[in-house]
Amino acid sequence: MKRSNELILVISLILLSAQITLGQTTFGQTTFAQTETIDTAMFRRIREAGLASSRIPMLAHYLTDVSGPRLPGSSGYRRAANWAVQTLKQWGISEAYTEAWGEFGKQWDLAEFSVALKLPYYQPLIAYPEPWSGNTKGRQQAAVILITSKQLMDTVYLKEHLSLLKGKILLVYNNSNKMAAGYATTPGRLTDSVLEHIEGQHIVSRNEMETIISRDSILVAIDKMLKKAGVVARISAPGNNVNGVVHVQSANGYKLSDPEMITKISMSFEDGQRLARLVRSGQRVELIINQKASVSTRDTKGYNVIGEIPGTDPVLGKEIVMLGGHLDSWASSTGATDNAAGCIVVMEVMRILDSLNVKPKRTIRMALWDGEEQGLYGSYNYVKKHFMNADGKPNEANQKVSGYFNLDYGTGKIRGVYAQENKEMIPVFKNWLEPFHDLDAKTVSANSTGSTDHESFDWAGIPGFQFIQDPVDEVWTHHTNIDDYDHLQIEDLKQAAVIVASFVYQAAMRDEMLPRKEFVKKVFVFDGL
Ligand SMILES: [Zn+2]
């Protein structure tokens, strides 16, 4: 299967080379070069290097299987970050290093974990620990008590029933809890009609964040109360944890100021439903739980990975084109589609450009960001430190950043790009995508899109963009126990690397920096939260 795909790509590559040659000689001026000249010869070389001698399978293996889960601050994150630096250096990218972006918090590394049904009969259950949640007192056997999510959030109710909860395992149960309807379990490809009107992903507002955080702080206080009352663990088994796929994340517990949390577990929906039915029919239901993680405060800083190909032009060399994606992941698998995928593409772009020995006029700088899942920590603090003055206005270095290209919408191939309401970028992107129509990338959306690291650049007034990608994996694998290598679409990642490398190269070589929107000073959505 893979071999035949590769063959098709090689054939289309040959066909495209012919088209480009034709375009250059016959239509070069009218079709491709209305706004700027595209270096089609270099685009072709990038294609060859990206499709014929890809290193993507190797990059994917090391960033997922070998590194393990990349929770910020964890050993897995550090393994991945250090490996990325070493690999860039081996390729000859000498300007490669990790850079602290600020204080993250605790280093949490899971050492042991198991959950099994003990009574009425023994059976292992599908369940995972929420990151940064507290350890059990060794291997504990305890009875299960049902509690609705409404009762859980009702402090008056809880206080009345606290004495009954001592030594018990709470299973948070919702009466209306049922499988999420129409839950996507198959790969998705964007159709032309969807692409035509594609909307960006939701951009969380400061107000929404404040609401989420205030609700979460109530839950933190409740968990504290439960822990003090001697509750063994709190288990949730929501309706989207179906078919063996379990979503596992946590909003808190990593900050130095956070107290040690109660043991929190995310369980498969079906296992949770079975436990609930058994309890309701009066069966004696007991689980055996063991959760042990090491928690360290030896190094509380967070780190981004930076790599650079210096610009060669005496003037333009001081200007920068950036690309990046977040390296951190959740911890129940190896974060392959969210977001090793983006990091694999970013590293492959650097490898391709370096292997072609390009001499970019502008400096090309890549970043693998830390702490994206907690609130774009790595990218925001990097941008704030390097490109902003203390008064919240762009500094001199900011004016030298031409643009930033982000990858974080999964493993699906690139279908186009969001112009982030930067009208002047629309014709530029259309022009750049012209040679990639045969690879299914042709859509330029005027819309803004959110929920990832280009927002940090957009906040600073730097043109920051995220690509439109096929939602092959978006709902299905992200933040789950199945976000592993096998869900990566290797051929899609090769396509993405070719397009991003070409975009970055073109941005580094064109006469002008990329056009900007007007800068509006505002508080960053996650600042200080
Ligand atoms: Zn992500």
Neighbours of 363 (CB within 10 A): 23
Asked if pLDDT for residue 17 goes beyond 70, the answer is: no
Query: Hunting for tokens 């944890």 — which residue is that?
Result: 241
Higher pLDDT, 152 or 25: 152
Compute the distance from residue 342 Cα to the ligand 1 centre, in Å: 8
Of 485, 492, 445, the residue nearest 470 (C-alpha): 492
- pLDDT, tens digit (0-9, with 9 covering 90-100), for 464-496: 999 999 998 766 899 999 999 999 999 999 999
Asked if pLDDT for residue 31 goes beyond 70, the answer is: no
234 DSSP β-pair partners: 170, 264
The predicted pLDDT at position 176 comes to 60
The predicted pLDDT at position 311 comes to 98
pLDDT confidence band for 440 (50 / 70 / 90): very high
Compute the distance from residue 340 Cα to the ligand 1 centre, in Å: 9
Enumerate residues 6+ apart whose C-beta is below 8 A from 509: 39, 360, 361, 362
The predicted pLDDT at position 32 comes to 42
Tell me if 97 sits within 8 A of 85, measured CB to CB. Answer: yes
Low-confidence winner among 27-31, 145-149, 431-435 (lowest mean pLDDT) = 27-31
Compute the distance from residue 343 Cα to the ligand 1 centre, in Å: 10
Q: Measured between alpha carbons, how far is 24 from 266 in angstroms, rounded to an integer?
A: 57
Dihedral pair phi/psi, residue 430, rounded to 5°: -60, -45
Compute the distance from residue 375 Cα to the ligand 1 centre, in Å: 11
The predicted pLDDT at position 185 comes to 53
The predicted pLDDT at position 178 comes to 61
**Percent residues over pLDDT 70 in the chain:** 91
- pLDDT, tens digit (0-9, with 9 covering 90-100), for 180-235: 555 555 558 899 988 999 998 888 888 888 888 888 899 999 999 999 999 999 99
- pLDDT, tens digit (0-9, with 9 covering 90-100), for 339-353: 999 999 999 999 999
Question: 107-296 belongs to which CATH class?
Answer: alpha beta
Alpha-helical regions (H) of 394-452: 425-433
Low-confidence winner among 58-67, 76-85, 127-136, 172-181 (lowest mean pLDDT) = 172-181
Compute the distance from residue 491 Cα to the ligand 1 centre, in Å: 20
Compute the distance from residue 154 Cα to the ligand 1 centre, in Å: 33
Tell me if 171 sits within 8 A of 144, measured CB to CB. Answer: yes
Asked if pLDDT for residue 66 goes beyond 90, the answer is: yes
Compute the distance from residue 251 Cα to the ligand 1 centre, in Å: 15
Q: Measured between alpha carbons, how far is 360 from 315 in angstroms, rounded to an integer?
A: 12
Q: Measured between alpha carbons, how far is 91 from 55 in angstroms, rounded to an integer?
A: 12
Asked if pLDDT for residue 40 goes beyond 90, the answer is: yes
Compute the distance from residue 478 Cα to the ligand 1 centre, in Å: 8
Asked if pLDDT for residue 46 goes beyond 60, the answer is: yes
The predicted pLDDT at position 307 comes to 98
Tokens at 200, concatenated: 């960006």
Dihedral pair phi/psi, residue 72, rounded to 5°: -50, 135
Homologous superfamily of 2-104+301-509? Zn peptidases (3.40.630.10)
Average pLDDT along the chain: 91
Tell me if 172 sits within 8 A of 152, measured CB to CB. Answer: yes
Higher pLDDT, 25 or 77: 77
Domain boundaries, the chain: 2-104+301-509, 107-296
Asked if pLDDT for residue 514 goes beyond 70, the answer is: yes
Compute the distance from residue 267 Cα to the ligand 1 centre, in Å: 22
Compute the distance from residue 117 Cα to the ligand 1 centre, in Å: 33
Asked if pLDDT for residue 21 goes beyond 50, the answer is: no
**Percent residues over pLDDT 90 in the chain:** 82
The predicted pLDDT at position 16 comes to 36
Low-confidence winner among 104-108, 236-240, 497-501, 525-529 (lowest mean pLDDT) = 525-529
SS3 content of the chain, % helix, strand, coil (to 5): 40, 20, 40
The predicted pLDDT at position 115 comes to 98
Compute the distance from residue 269 Cα to the ligand 1 centre, in Å: 24
303 DSSP β-pair partners: 100
ipTM value, please give it: 0.95
- pLDDT, tens digit (0-9, with 9 covering 90-100), for 145-182: 999 999 999 999 999 999 999 999 999 987 665 665 55
Compute the distance from residue 228 Cα to the ligand 1 centre, in Å: 35
The predicted pLDDT at position 94 comes to 84
Asked if pLDDT for residue 72 goes beyond 80, the answer is: yes
Q: Measured between alpha carbons, how far is 488 from 493 in angstroms, rounded to an integer?
A: 8
- pLDDT, tens digit (0-9, with 9 covering 90-100), for 389-400: 999 999 999 999
Dihedral pair phi/psi, residue 94, rounded to 5°: -70, -30
CA diameter of the chain = 83
What does each C-alpha distance from 461 to 2, 243, 324, 363, 458 come to in angstroms?
42, 43, 17, 19, 5
Q: Measured between alpha carbons, how far is 267 from 287 in angstroms, rounded to an integer?
A: 13
Compute the distance from residue 169 Cα to the ligand 1 centre, in Å: 32
Asked if pLDDT for residue 29 goes beyond 50, the answer is: no
**pLDDT, average across residues 494-513:** 98
Compute the distance from residue 337 Cα to the ligand 1 centre, in Å: 8
